[in-house]
Amino acid sequence: MKNLITSFVLQLILLFLLLKEDRNDGEKELFKKQKWDASDVVIVVLSIGILNFLIVSLFKFQFLGEFLRKSYLFYVPLFLFFLIVILFRFKFRQNIRVLGFTKTNLKRNIFLGILVAAINLAISSIFYFLFAKPGTHALPVIGVLRNFKNISYYLPYFFVLFSTILAPVVEESIFRGILYSPYRKKYGPTCAIIITSLFFATFHHRGILHYFINGFFWGILYEKTESIVSSIVAHSIYNLIFFIVMLYFAGFMG
């Protein structure tokens, strides 16, 4: 709960940065099309904060059942997915493709996503071996996977599949998509990448430094390619390799 409160306070501070007036310099074509503004960022961030608070509070109760309490990690991406659909359908009134879901330069963007994922994995490995105490970051994930196995043998594998497909699409659509554009219009690309990477890191509560670094690379990818496909590919591959390693250490592949 302490990590949750700290993260939410930092997110509120970042929201105050939206009070700055928009800049009048030139925009890339993709970001000209994105019509949402600072108020929409506030809606998204507060929705995520309230959701996290409710989940952490409610799922401590025994009457919700073991499965519901231990599988709450599924509900956050699902909620955010429906939030995105509702915003684009009823508030933004824009096609979700305006986030950068495009086939233009698709092969190049996929290749760049794979390349950046490899860089992310290399950096994460270096940080883990140099600075982390043995198992400090991995243990919570291993515990979650083992808890899922106690409920159903197939649930950990479903969770990994869920985390490598839906979660990256949803998170990139929010942090590199919806949140990025209003900050970019006010502060330019570099500051927008830093700010949205901080949002991304605090959203995950644990391992903030490595999530910030990953988010920073994925933000650069989004800015340079003007395609959210590239950052989704990088995010998906990173999650896939990470969870395969966690499955191994959790004893699923031995």
Residue 197 and residue 69: Cα distance in Å, rounded? 29
Our CA angle for 128, 129, 133, nearest 5°, is 70
Q: What pLDDT sits at residue 124? A: 84
The pLDDT value given to residue 235: 97
Give the pLDDT of residue 140. Answer: 66
The phi, psi pair for 185, rounded to 5°, reads: -65, -25
Sign for the pseudo-dihedral over CA of 3, 222, 210, 193: negative
Q: Specify whether the CB–CB gap between 17 and 195 falls below 8 A.
A: yes
**Roughly what angle, to the nearest 10 degrees, separates helices 106-131 and 208-225?**
160
pLDDT recorded at residue 62: 56
Helix (H, G, I), strand (E, B) or coil at 132: coil
pLDDT of the chain, 254 residues: tens digit per residue: 566 667 767 777 788 888 788 876 667 888 988 989 999 999 888 888 787 777 767 666 655 555 555 566 667 788 888 888 888 988 888 999 999 998 999 999 999 999 999 999 998 888 777 766 655 555 567 777 777 777 677 778 888 888 899 999 999 999 999 999 999 999 999 999 999 999 999 888 777 888 999 999 999 999 999 999 999 999 999 999 988 888 887 777 66
pLDDT at 127: 77
Let me know: does 84 contact 173? Beta carbons within 8 Å: yes
CA distance 113 to 243: 18
**DSSP classification of residue 78:** H
Number of other residues whose CB lies within 10 A of the CB of residue 125: 11
- Scanning the chain, the segments in alpha helix (DSSP H) are 2-16, 29-33, 38-58, 66-70, 75-86, 106-131, 138-151, 155-172, 180-187, 189-204, 208-225, 228-249
CB-CB contact of 33 with 228 (8 Å): no
**What dihedral angle (degrees, nearest 10) is formed by the CA atoms of 152, 158, 160, 163?**
-130
Q: What residues contact 238, with CB distance under 8 A and at least 6 apart?
A: 117, 120, 121, 214
Q: Is the pTM of this model over 0.85?
A: yes
| pLDDT of res. 138 | 53
CA 218 to chain centre: 10
Domain boundaries, the chain: 2-11+28-249
